[in-house]
Amino acid sequence: MNMPERSVKVVIYSRVSSKDQEKEGFSIPAQIELLRNYAQRHNMIILKEYEDVETAKCAGRTHFNEMVKFLKNSKECHTILVEKTDRLYRNLVDFVTIDNLPLDIHFVKENCIVSPNSHSSEKFMHLIKVGMARQYIQNLSEEVKKGLTQKAKEGYVTGKQPYGYRKLDKRICVIDETTSGYVKRAFELYSQGNISLRALTEKLYEEGFIYKQTQAKAHKTQIEHILKNPFYYGVISYMGKIYEGKHEPLITKELFDLTQHAFRKDNKPKHMIAKNFLFAGMIKCSKCGCNLSGEIKKGKYIYYSCTGGKGECEQKHIYIKEEIIEKQIIEAISKISITSEHKDWISSVLAESFKDEQKYAKERINSLNAQKQKLRERIDALYIDKLDNKISEEFWLERHNKWTQDLLKIQNNITAYEKANINFIEIGAKFLKICNEVVDLYKIADNNEKRELLNYVLQNFSMDGENLSYEYKKPFDIFAKGLNRNKKLPRLDSNQQPFG
């Protein structure tokens, strides 16, 4: 791999996705030693070291975020050393976060450097590695689910034992005599249908019920979770299926059913949280304007229908499969594409526009700093007048408060202009990436990432029967329609912004 000729300042990042990985040879110290030796061999200066020991299935790792913040604000460090691809990021959110920064990333074990100047083929291979890392997580998750499904089929609890039970070993649960009485009491009281969850929680607390896991008063959601768990009448519920359990039941099936009836009586229907459905809250009914909501039928198929929130709607009872909607979504985003020539043109336009942005931002920041300095001098002089009894306490307080607020507003404006340059670059880079890879990015994304991507390029979704309508956001509408390959590319003047 090509090494820099001059010494550079770097940060190093190491991660294991679980405590178990540390025991299996993926230790943080081993990664740090590898990266430090690499930096020493290539005359690099390590400014900071970041490490995480937690799962990377979800974005938001503590020290990963700290590193990103440092690199965004640093003027001298633009390089990360990391062992290999799956140590840096394991999901699309983390990948896009890093990819949108002007960084050189050294994947030491893979003998690879990825930077803004990398060849397109190298970037493509890098994206493939990210996709493979994501596929690894999905495969691992599937294998774990298979193991847990088999455990449930055999009648054993698949996770932590429910409240009121204790474990004899890793699989077998027995009734815990010290806590089970409160569980029975909760079922007996709530099944009568004349007490709310909040009142039930208070009554149990008065009777001496302390939630063992927290050693505190139970929350009503904890009580609700207990009352809806079929484990207590002798079965195992896993992935929507019920299996006969090996454990001794704490209550009868009849008491459990009475309790569930009490929930329905109180208008507490069972439903999945809307955010678990890909298109929930995104698409409106073309007839009444209400949102489409998702629901599961036959235990596995996702359908969408109009909520009918504004009254009766002719489409309220029309159910559309998620696959039908997603097929039209993929067809829509697949129309977004640019040629290499257009990409080069946009890049040059961005560079020219960025220079203008920098110049304008610098002028505004200088002007705001002058105003800030003037205000500070006024506040200082005002304080001296107060000490010399030249002004009253009331006048000093009134002027001081006003000028301090003005000072905060000016500082907020300065911060906004300083961030503007970064945002300008991020918008351009994100746009080019989406134009080139939108379908691939969509296919490797989870539901949250897919929604974020779709909301970035599309808008005004509506459903008429099984037909999806939508609009492209600017400037994606231009590229979705297709630019004429033989058309001479225009030149944007310095006042025209390439992206709205």
Query: pLDDT tens for residues 329-356?
Result: 999 998 887 777 777 766 766 666 566 5
- pTM for the model stands at 0.36
Residues 302 and 171 grouped into a single domain: no
Residue 184 pLDDT more than 70? yes
The predicted pLDDT at position 499 comes to 40
Residues 57 and 105 grouped into a single domain: yes
Among the ranges 19-33, 117-131, 274-288, 463-477, which has the highest mean pLDDT value? 463-477
Top pLDDT among 264 and 260 is at 260
> Which three-class secondary structure state does DSSP give residue 276?
helix
Average pLDDT, the chain: 78
Give every CB contact of residue 439 below 8 A, 6+ residues apart in sequence: 330, 333, 334
Top pLDDT among 143 and 185 is at 185
CATH number for 239: 3.90.1750.20
The predicted pLDDT at position 420 comes to 61
Task: State how far the Cα of 164 lies from the Cα of 399, in Å rounded to an integer.
Answer: 64
In a domain, 500, yes or no: no
Residue 326 pLDDT more than 90? yes
Residues 255 and 286 grouped into a single domain: no
Residues 248 and 316 grouped into a single domain: no
The label of the residue with tokens 């193991």 reads 147
Inter-residue contact 328 to 311 (CB < 8 Å): no
- Ranges 95-99, 294-298, 437-441: which has the least confidence: 95-99
> How many helices (DSSP H) and strands (DSSP E) are in the chain?
15, 15
Residues 305 and 258 grouped into a single domain: no
Inter-residue contact 63 to 51 (CB < 8 Å): yes
**DSSP code, position 109:** T
Q: What is the CA radius of gyration of the chain?
A: 30
Task: List the end-to-end C-alpha distance of the chain, in Å, as a whole number.
Answer: 39
- Ranges 137-146, 211-220, 304-313, 345-354: which has the least confidence: 137-146
> Which three-class secondary structure state does DSSP give residue 1?
coil
Domain count, the chain: 4
Domain range for 459 is: 340-481
Q: What is the DSSP string of 403-420?
A: HHHHHHHHHHHHHHHHHH
Side by side, which strands form the sheet with 112-114? Answer: 45-53, 9-16, 77-82, 104-107, 112-114
The label of the residue with tokens 């009352």 reads 227
Query: pLDDT tens for residues 362-420?
Result: 877 888 889 889 998 998 998 898 888 999 988 888 888 888 888 877 887 777 667 66
Residues 26 and 114 grouped into a single domain: yes
pLDDT average, residue stretch 79-97: 81
Residue 39 pLDDT more than 60? yes
Inter-residue contact 498 to 476 (CB < 8 Å): no
Top pLDDT among 139 and 340 is at 340
For strand 458-464 and strand 173-175, is the pairing parallel, antiparallel, or unpaired? unpaired
Residues 42 and 100 grouped into a single domain: yes
The percentage of residues in the chain with a pLDDT greater than 70, rounded to a whole number, is: 75
Question: Which tokens is 122 given?
Answer: 């190298």
Top pLDDT among 297 and 495 is at 297
pLDDT average, residue stretch 440-466: 88
Residues 261 and 281 grouped into a single domain: no
State the pLDDT confidence band at 20, using cuts at 50, 70 and 90. Answer: very low
- Smallest Cα–Cα separation from 151: which of 169, 136, 164? 169
In a domain, 2, yes or no: no
State the pLDDT confidence band at 461, using cuts at 50, 70 and 90. Answer: very high
The predicted pLDDT at position 25 comes to 43
pLDDT average, residue stretch 70-98: 84
Residues 318 and 398 grouped into a single domain: no
- Smallest Cα–Cα separation from 299: which of 337, 270, 324? 270
The predicted pLDDT at position 7 comes to 81
The predicted pLDDT at position 498 comes to 40
Query: pLDDT tens for residues 249-261?
Result: 999 988 998 988 8
Other CB atoms within a 10 A radius of the CB of residue 252 amount to: 13
- Smallest Cα–Cα separation from 362: which of 414, 428, 427, 422? 414
In a domain, 415, yes or no: yes
CATH number for 97: 3.40.50.1390
Question: Which tokens is 451 given?
Answer: 């929604």
Inter-residue contact 155 to 171 (CB < 8 Å): no
In a domain, 491, yes or no: no
Residue 76 pLDDT more than 80? yes
Top pLDDT among 427 and 299 is at 299
Among the ranges 27-31, 140-144, 275-279, which has the highest mean pLDDT value? 27-31
Task: State how far the Cα of 149 lies from the Cα of 238, in Å rounded to an integer.
Answer: 7
- Smallest Cα–Cα separation from 251: which of 158, 180, 323, 166? 180
**DSSP code, position 216:** B
The predicted pLDDT at position 269 comes to 38
Cis peptide before 490 (omega within 30 of 0): no
Residues 171 and 293 grouped into a single domain: no
pLDDT average, residue stretch 451-459: 88
The predicted pLDDT at position 331 comes to 92
In a domain, 1, yes or no: no
